[in-house]
Amino acid sequence: MVELTSSASQKSSLVSLLKTIAGAGLLSIPFAFSTDGLICGILMIVLAGVTSGYGLFLQVYTSKYVPTGHATFFNLCSITYPTLSVVFDIAIATQCFGCAISYLVLIGDLMPTIITEVPFISRENYKQFWTLSSAVLCVPLSFLKNLDSLKYTSVLGLAAIGYVAVLVVAQFVLGSVPASYKGEVSLFPQSVTGIFSTFSIVVFAFTGHQNMFSIINEARNKSLSSLSTLVNLAVIISGILFIIVGVAGYLTFGDLVNGNVVLSYPNAVSTTLGRFAIVFMVVFSFPLMIHPARISVNNIYFWTLVNVFGKTTHAANGESNSLLLPPDQDHDETSPLIPNNKAYLVPFPDSTLYAITAILLLVGYTAAISIKSFALVLAVVGATGSTAISFILPGLFGYKLIGSESDDPSSLERILKVLGLCLTIWGVTVMVVCLYSSLAL
C-alpha cells in the first residue's frame, strides 16, 4: 500500500510548488508581451497570479474538510458535487498527461538542434531517438511515489529555469542581439483579439494546482498559516520571475519574439546551453505531470470499480469497507472540519501504482514519437483541464464548503465563499476565451 508520508519541510514543499508553476510556460511569457504590450502584459501577469494564488489558497483551506493526508480533487468532489467527481478527474488526467507528452515532444524537437550528429542514427530518426533516450531519466523518476522524493531533481530543474532567466536578462542588458532580430515595442496592446490570442499563456503559466493537494498531504506542517505562506511565496516568486523574463525578452526582440524565447537568439554557446537547460528542465518536469495524472487515473479506476462493477464501498464516516483506508481519527488543527463527511479514502496499492505508471509511460512515449502535431489538441485540453483545476474546481469547493461546519458563518467565511464563486465565474470566462482563441483566432 502506498504510504502517505508527512515529512516534507516547507522549503521542500516550496521547491516542489515552484518547479510545478515555473516550468516550460516561462519560455512563452515574452511572446505574450508581444500582443499585450508592456503595461498590459505586466497587469495580466498580476491578474493571473492573484486569481491562481487564490485558487491554491482555496485548495489549502478546503483540504481541512477531508481526512488528513487524503486531500484530492476526487475526495472534495465526493463531498461537494459527487456526480461530477469522475468527470473532473478525467479532465485532470487528460490535462496533466497531455502536458507530459508535450514535454517529450519538446525534447525531441530541441535535442537535434543541440547535438546535430548521432552515430548510426539517420537524421530523420533523430527526434524519435532523443525522445526515447529521455526515458533513461524520465522513467525511473516517474515511478517515485511522493513529490517530496523529487525535491532534489526539482532543485536541479529550478537551476535550469534560473539559467534561462539569467540568459534572457543578460542578453537584454548586454545588448548583444543584432538589431535585425528586434521588432517594435509597444506599451499597450494593438487590439483586444491580440490579448485573447495569448491569454492562455499567462493564465496557464501559474498552473501548479495539479500537485497542490499532494504537496498538502506530504507537508510536515499542515496548518493553514504555514501552507498559506507557502502559496504566497510561490506565487510572488513566480510572478516576479515571469515579469522579469517577459519584459527582458520582449524588449530584446519586440514583436518578433518567438513563442519559445530561447529559440529567438542567434546560435551561440550561451544559447545552446539555454536550449539544453530547457531539455534538462522538462525532463525533471515530466514526472511532476505523471504524478497527478496517476492519482486521477487511480481515482477513475476506483470509481469504475464502485459504480460500474458494483464493488462495496463506503465514505470516511466510520462504516466498514475493505476497499477503503481507515480514516484519520485525530482531532487537531489538521483534522477534518466535518468529521462525518462522505469523503472517500481511495486506496492506492503499490501494484496499482506501478501498473498505472507503466501504462501512462507506454502510451505517452508511443504518442510522443507517433504524433507529429497536436498543438491544437493540447491547447483545447489546457483551456479546459487546466482552467478547471486552477479556478473552477477550487472556487466551487470554497463556495460549497467554507463555513459549512457552522450554522452561522463568520463575515470572513462569507467573503471567502463569495470570492470562491467569483473565481469559478472567472474560470468559466477564461475557459470560453481560451477555447475561442484556440479554435477561432
- Domain parsing of the chain, residue ranges: 10-311+349-440
Measured distance CA(34)–CA(23) in Å, rounded: 20
| 179: Cβ contacts below 8 Å, ≥ 6 apart | none
- Decide if 55 contacts 209 (C-beta within 8 A): yes
**Torsion, Cα of 151, 156, 160, 161 (10° steps):** 20
Q: What is the predicted pLDDT for the residue at 314?
A: 45
Provide the CA 18 distance to its chain's centre, in angstroms: 10
The position carrying cell 458563518 is 409
Measured distance CA(209)–CA(204) in Å, rounded: 10
Provide the CA 435 distance to its chain's centre, in angstroms: 19
Measured distance CA(271)–CA(252) in Å, rounded: 14
Name the pTM for this structure.
0.81
Each of the 441 residues of the chain gets a pLDDT tens digit; together they read 444 455 778 888 888 898 888 877 788 889 889 888 899 999 999 999 999 999 999 999 999 988 888 888 888 888 888 888 788 888 888 878 888 888 888 888 888 888 888 888 888 888 889 999 999 999 998 998 877 667 777 788 888 888 889 999 998 998 888 887 888 888 888 777 777 777 777 887 888 888 899 899 988 888 999 999 999 999 999 999 999 999 999 999 988 888 778 878 888 888 888 888 888 888 888 888 898 899 889 988 888 887 777 665 544 444 444 444 444 444 344 455 555 455 556 778 888 999 999 999 999 999 888 876 545 555 666 667 778 888 999 999 999 999 888 888 899 999 999 999 999 999 999 888 877 776 665
The position carrying cell 508581444 is 34
Q: What is the predicted pLDDT for the residue at 12?
A: 86
Measured distance CA(91)–CA(238) in Å, rounded: 25
Measured distance CA(138)–CA(361) in Å, rounded: 9
Measured distance CA(262)–CA(169) in Å, rounded: 12
How many helices (H) and strands (E) the chain has is answered by 17, 0
Give the ranges where 206-311 is alpha helix by DSSP (H): 212-218, 224-253, 269-307
- Decide if 73 contacts 89 (C-beta within 8 A): yes
Q: What is the predicted pLDDT for the residue at 139?
A: 93
- Decide if 364 contacts 108 (C-beta within 8 A): no
CATH no. of 10-311+349-440: 1.20.1740.10
